């Protein structure tokens, strides 16, 4: 098993007028290729901050982060953008689709940015999340749950090395959420995509190979799960 990434004593402190907020306060772990990690924790515990550091959207204020053996670029450098483009698929907590592009065009754009436009795969992915009838509509013409599913299809469209999801199924009903998670897990297995999903929903644990719990910016538990299924 190859080690994909390693965080060591990661800190993300914010200076605020009221004092220092330690959003991440000494987080350390390694993630092996192919793992699917569920990140659980109360509101304000640091989950989104951790995903933003993992994706290099944000930089830690301390500690070390290596990806495929190299230091991850920091501090709003252009290299952060190329790192993300090359490695990361991200479904945001407040998904952001481009409103002037259709559902299909939103997917094609991401493929184009990462240098592999593949309309056939884009349509397959939209089928996978149950949106084959909506491909030519604009985000403003579909429901919140459907927009979320477009964001999910988009996140795997470029075959990222690391897929990150923040409350991925938060806007979906139970049945759709199960369908989408099953499709996602299958895509991850087929393409050996490593994933970290933030959620409040303990029900998603069954889709994971590992569960990390975080509280007040610290890891409070880290366990392998469902090991017999793999
Ligand atoms: N820009 C900022 N400035 C100051 N503090 C911040 C900033 N962004 C986040 N924080 C603080 O950092 C902590 C972690 O926030 P984070 O968004 O990572 O929480 P979360 O676990 O994702 O919560 P939720 O489940 O509500 O989305 C919180 O205490 C939050 O108030
Ligand atoms: Mg959050």
Q: How many CB atoms lie within 10 A of CB 139?
A: 21
* 56-60, 79-83, 151-155, 168-172, range with the lowest pLDDT: 168-172
Q: Does 98 score more than 70 pLDDT?
A: yes
Per-residue 3-state assignment (H helix, E strand, C coil) for 158-225: CCCCEEEEECCCCCCCHHHHHHHHHHHHHHHHHHCCEEEEEECCHHHHHHCCEEEEEECCEEEEEEEC
CB-based contact 88:56 (threshold 8 Å): yes
CATH number for region 35-60+78-229: 3.40.50.300
Binding site membership of 12 for ligand 1 (Cβ less than 6 Å): no
Residue ranges near ligand 2 (ion) with Cβ within 5 Å: 48
Instruction: Give exposure, 80-110, as e/b (b: 16+ Cβ within 10 Å).
Output: beebbeebbbbbbeebebeeeebbbbbbbbb
Q: Does 207 score more than 80 pLDDT?
A: yes
Centre of ligand 1 from the C-alpha of residue 62, in Å: 17
Binding site membership of 75 for ligand 1 (Cβ less than 6 Å): no
pLDDT number for residue 14 = 96
Strand pairing partners for 39?
Answer: 198, 212
pLDDT number for residue 136 = 97
Average pLDDT over residues 178-199: 90
The more confident residue out of 95 and 69 is 69
Average pLDDT over residues 89-116: 88
pLDDT number for residue 128 = 86
pLDDT number for residue 183 = 83
Q: Ligand 1 atom closest to Cα of 93?
A: 27
Mean pLDDT of the chain: 92
Binding site membership of 20 for ligand 1 (Cβ less than 6 Å): no
pLDDT number for residue 58 = 94
pLDDT tens, position by position, 75-90? 878 899 999 999 999 8
Average pLDDT over residues 12-16: 96
pLDDT tens, position by position, 38-69? 999 999 999 999 999 999 999 999 999 999 99
Q: Residue 228's pLDDT band (boundaries 50, 70, 90)?
A: low
pLDDT tens, position by position, 22-39? 999 999 999 999 999 999
pLDDT > 90: what percent of the chain? 70
Pocket test for ligand 1, best of 16, 22, 47, 58 (most atoms within 8 A of CB): 47
């Amino acid at each position: 098993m190859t080690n994909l990434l390693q965080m060591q004593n990661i800190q993300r402190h914010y200076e605020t007028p009221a004092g220092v907020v330690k959003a991440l306060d000494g987080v350390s772990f390694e993630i092996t290729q192919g793992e699917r990690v569920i990140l659980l924790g109360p509101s304000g515990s640091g989950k989104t901050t951790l995903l933003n550091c993992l994706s290099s959207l944000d930089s830690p204020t301390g500690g070390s982060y290596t990806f495929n053996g190299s230091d991850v670029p920091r501090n709003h450098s252009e290299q952060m953008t190329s790192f993300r483009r090359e490695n990361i698929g991200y479904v945001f907590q407040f998904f952001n689709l481009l409103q002037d592009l259709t559902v299909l065009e939103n997917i094609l754009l991401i493929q184009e940015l990462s240098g592999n436009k593949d309309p056939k795969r884009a349509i397959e992915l939209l089928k996978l999340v149950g949106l084959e009838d909506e491909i030519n509509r604009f985000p403003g013409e579909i429901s919140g749950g459907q927009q979320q599913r477009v964001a999910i299809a988009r996140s795997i469209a470029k075959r990222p090395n690391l897929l990150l999801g923040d409350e991925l199924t938060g806007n979906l009903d139970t049945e759709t959420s199960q369908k989408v998670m099953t499709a996602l897990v299958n895509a991850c297995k087929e393409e050996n995509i490593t994933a970290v999903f933030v959620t409040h929903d303990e029900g998603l644990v069954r889709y994971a190979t590992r569960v990390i719990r975080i509280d007040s910016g610290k890891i409070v538990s880290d366990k392998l799960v469902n090991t017999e299924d793999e």
